[in-house]
Amino acid sequence: GLEQDLAGRHVVVSAGGTREPLDPVRFLGNRSSGKQGYALAATAVARGARVTLLSANVELPAPAGADVVRVSTALQLREAALKAAVDADVVVMAAAVADFRPAEYAGGKIKKVDGVDPAPVALVRNPDILAELSAQRQRGGQLVVGFAAETDDVLANGRAKLTRKGCDLLVVNEVGESRGFGLDTNAAVVLSADGTEVHIADGPKEDLADAVWDQVAARLP
Ligand code: C5P
């Protein structure tokens, strides 16, 4: 990425993981650190892009030169993504979005009562932001990129997910207890709707980010 091959382009990257509140002090969340999304934002800036970083609960320094929009829940991320995507050339959904949120939000802290079993937590589905952005492109020629973390049958599951989501590229990581989340390195396969399959060896998240931008840049109109 020495070339400014994203100059004049607006790219939107989501990073981190959503938190779905149960009450004012508790939430359902996930272990996403935001490192991969932040690396995507920083490398896109380095390649000349205007970058909007939709940051969900990330404790990392903001990448220099990116416009950071902070969100917390999946619904907030959806709003921010649809808005930012209106004039975007590329949207990369690297955030871990909760599939479900609590059906009800308790305005006060949920209390334990001696001798009383806790009430089950009812969940409702969150919208699939990636599928929505893919189905309703916010701009002609826009590229939509998703991420997927798979623990088994990585390629077959990734290919099925690419089709289901309707995105142009899907970056599939193999995750497990010692891979992916929270670490500084990542190995992945970038699958494309045009049928290509690019394997990226385990390495720094910046290298994976640059490899993703290479695939994006090659497909921009
Ligand atoms: O279905 P799965 O969660 O494995 O898909 C992961 C991809 O879909 C990621 O790019 C993630 O950002 C996106 N996603 C989304 N909205 C959801 C769930 C996932 O945009 N509700």
CA of 81 to the centre of ligand 1 (A): 13
Burial of 62 (0-12, 13-18, 19+ CB in 10 A): middle
Please give the pLDDT value at position 174.
Answer: 78
Tokens of 193: 């709707």
Q: What percent of the chain has pLDDT over 90?
A: 86
Q: Are 73 and 31 in contact (CB under 8 A)?
A: no
DSSP structure class, residue 61: P
- Cα 28 → chain centroid: 17
Residue 212 neighbours by CB distance under 10 Å: 26
Higher pLDDT, 79 or 140: 79
Ligand 1: nearest atom to the Cα of 150: 4
Tokens of 59: 């404790």
What is the average pLDDT score of the chain? 94
Residue spans of alpha helices (H) in the chain: 35-46, 74-84, 129-135, 154-165, 205-219
Residue 134 neighbours by CB distance under 10 Å: 23
Look at ligand 1, atom 13, and give the residue with the nearest C-alpha: 130
CA proximity to 1, closest of 49, 43, 51:
43
Tokens of 112: 């334990």
How confident is the model over 127-143, as a mean pLDDT?
95
Please give the pLDDT value at position 186.
Answer: 78
**Type of residue found at 50:** R
Please give the pLDDT value at position 1.
Answer: 46
* 22 labeled part of a ligand binding site: no
How confident is the model over 11-35, as a mean pLDDT?
97
Clarify whether 30 is annotated catalytic: yes
37 pLDDT above the threshold of 70: yes
* Domain residue spans of the chain: 10-98+122-217
Tokens of 115: 């001798």
Total-model pTM: 0.95
> What's the CATH class of domain 10-98+122-217?
alpha beta
Please give the pLDDT value at position 193.
Answer: 97
* 147 labeled part of a ligand binding site: yes
Ligand 1 pocket member 170 (CB < 6 A)? no
Q: What's the pLDDT tens digit per position in 143-195?
A: 999 999 888 899 999 999 999 999 999 999 877 655 555 666 778 999 999 99
CA proximity to 78, closest of 95, 58, 90:
95
Q: What's the pLDDT tens digit per position in 82-130?
A: 999 999 999 999 999 999 999 999 999 999 999 999 989 999 999 999 9
* 129 labeled part of a ligand binding site: yes
Rg value, the chain, Cα: 18
Ligand 1 pocket member 20 (CB < 6 A)? no
